[in-house]
Chains A and B, each alone.
Chain A
Amino acid sequence: SYELTQPPSMSVSPGQTARITCSGDALPKKYAYWYQQKSGQAPVLVIYDDSKRSSGIPERFSGSSSGTRATLTISGAQVEDEADYYCYSIDSSGSHRIFGGGTKLTVL
């Protein structure tokens, strides 16, 4: 079955750049999406169609995709960016909707 692979966790200091990766065989042909989930809250769309920033999301968030890897970049991470981040996409057949396992980002 199709999988999207993310690192389980990462940590950066405030002001540093965080890059969260997501690997999947279908990503060369399918868009990647990124969701932010803070503790006890519902997920929020951060990036859609690989690189478009969702409404209300700060400019420090950006997305890119190359080959089988999509990347969420937070340039100058803030303490309030501490959250779980999930990538999402579909498989090459379009039949299966898949989330990555999530990356817990710590900013301190």
Chain B
Amino acid sequence: QVQLIQSGAEVKKPGASVKVSCKASGYTFTSYDISWVRQAPGQGLEWMAWISGYNNNTNCAQKFQGRVTLTTDTSTTTAYMELTNLRSDDTAIYYCARDRITGTTHWFDPWGQGTLVTVSS
């Protein structure tokens, strides 16, 4: 079955960077994009960015431009999300999800289990 397994929880200081991994299995990695979505404590879901599993094209929400870097390693079928210049309000659970497409609409299924990133001095 399709699975996305993410790396473990991280604690970082303000100004630092974090890199979260997402290992995919159960499907052809290069046939699908991967999206990243975050959820601050007690808050809703917020889409951050996506990367093509085929050609590494990326796109991200405007608020994350300049701070988010997405990469993939097709040899290990793993996607990575690096967030730089961390602030306290970046404390959140970060999810990866496989992108699906209907027409021009991208959606997400399934999701990884999530990675808690805590930013604290």
Contacts and interface: CB of A to CB of B under 8 A. Distances in A.
Interface of A: 30-31, 33, 35, 37, 42-45, 48-49, 54, 86, 88-90, 94, 96-102
Interface of chain A, main secondary structure? strand
Contacts of A89: 105
B109 A45 contact: yes
Contacts, number: 57
Given A42-B95, A42-B113, A43-B111, A99 B45 contact: yes
B102 interface: yes
A91 to B, nearest CB: 11
Task: Kindly name the residue among A43, A94, A98 whose own CB sees the greatest number of chain B CB atoms within 10 A.
Answer: A43
21 contacts: A30-B105, A31-B102, A31-B103, A33-B108, A35-B108, A37-B45, A42-B95, A42-B114, A43-B45, A43-B111, A44-B110, A45-B108, A86-B44, A94-B105, A97-B47, A97-B106, A99-B44, A99-B45, A100-B44, A101-B44, A102-B44
